[in-house]
Amino acid sequence: MIRIAVVVPLMVGLLLLGFGTIGWTAADDSSRLTIISPTQGSVIKGDSVKVRYKLSKGMDATHIHCYVDGEYQRVFAGVVKGLTRGTHEIKLVAASHNHDSLGTEAVVTIEVE
C-alpha cells in the first residue's frame, strides 16, 4: 500500500513533465523588440493608447502580436482601444509568417484614468 502511495504520484509527475508549456512554444530567432511608447508606468487619459514599437526582424519574425492583460488583440493596427480605468499590461510578441510566436517580446504596464 505504501508503494502505491509513492509510485502513483511519482508517475503522474513524470508524465506531466512534458506538458510544461501549454499553448504555443516560443523560438528565439534573434529578433529585437522594443516598445517606444507608452513608457513603463505611463498614465493614460481616455480609453485608447497608441503603441509605438521597433521590431528588428530576425530570421523568422515578420510582424507582432499584441496582448492586453493576457488577451490577444485580433485587430491591432498600432492602437489599443476600449481600455477601462485601472492598470493594464500591454505585451507585444514577435511572430512568424505562420503566426507562430517567437521568443522576442516587450511588455509595459500603464495606468488608465
Q: How far apart are CA 103 and CA 76, in angstroms?
A: 20
Is 17 part of any domain? no
Number of domains in the chain: 1
What pLDDT score was predicted for residue 7? 44
The yes-or-no verdict on residue 37 having pLDDT over 90 is: yes
What CATH number did the domain enclosing 83 receive? 2.60.40.10
pTM beyond 0.75, yes or no:
no
Least Cα distance to 84 among 112, 59, 110, 106 occurs for 112
pLDDT of residue 29: 66
39 part of a folded domain: yes
Residue 42, domain member (yes or no): yes
- Is 76 part of any domain? yes
Domain region containing 95: 25-112
> Does residue 2 fall inside a structural domain?
no
pLDDT at 28: 62
Residue 99 lies in a domain: yes
| Confidence grade of residue 31 (pLDDT, cut at 50, 70, 90) | confident
- Assess if residue 18 is contained within a domain: no
